[in-house]
Amino acid sequence: MPTDAAGEPTPRSPRFLTLADVAEILSTSVAQVRALVQSGELRHIQIGGRQQYRIEAVELENYIQRLYAESDAKTGHAQHVGRPD
């Protein structure tokens, strides 16, 4: 289990996120996240039955970085490197 600077255990982030998890992180609706998945804009895997999608946390970060890069290109601002700690 990962530990913090004091050596205390920290909760591990899940590798895969549900559509509801992603919607909460992006402050949007599950329907909007489903549209991103179904359009291919947000990389995902499908498990089990119908519309059982999972998004790997790293793929969500990649998606967010692509959006920042697109925004920066449109506005002419410097490239977004990462989120501040």
How do residues 10-60 score in pLDDT, each as one tens digit? 577 899 999 999 999 999 999 999 999 999 999 999 998 788 999 999 999
Sheet holding 16-17, edge to edge: 16-17, 53-56, 45-46
Provide the terminal-to-terminal Cα distance of the chain, rounded to the nearest Å. Answer: 21
Instruction: Please give the single-letter amino acid code of residue 2.
Output: P
Range list of H helices, 1-85? 19-26, 30-39, 57-75
Rg of the chain over Cα atoms, rounded to whole angstroms, equals 16
Q: What is the pTM of this model?
A: 0.74
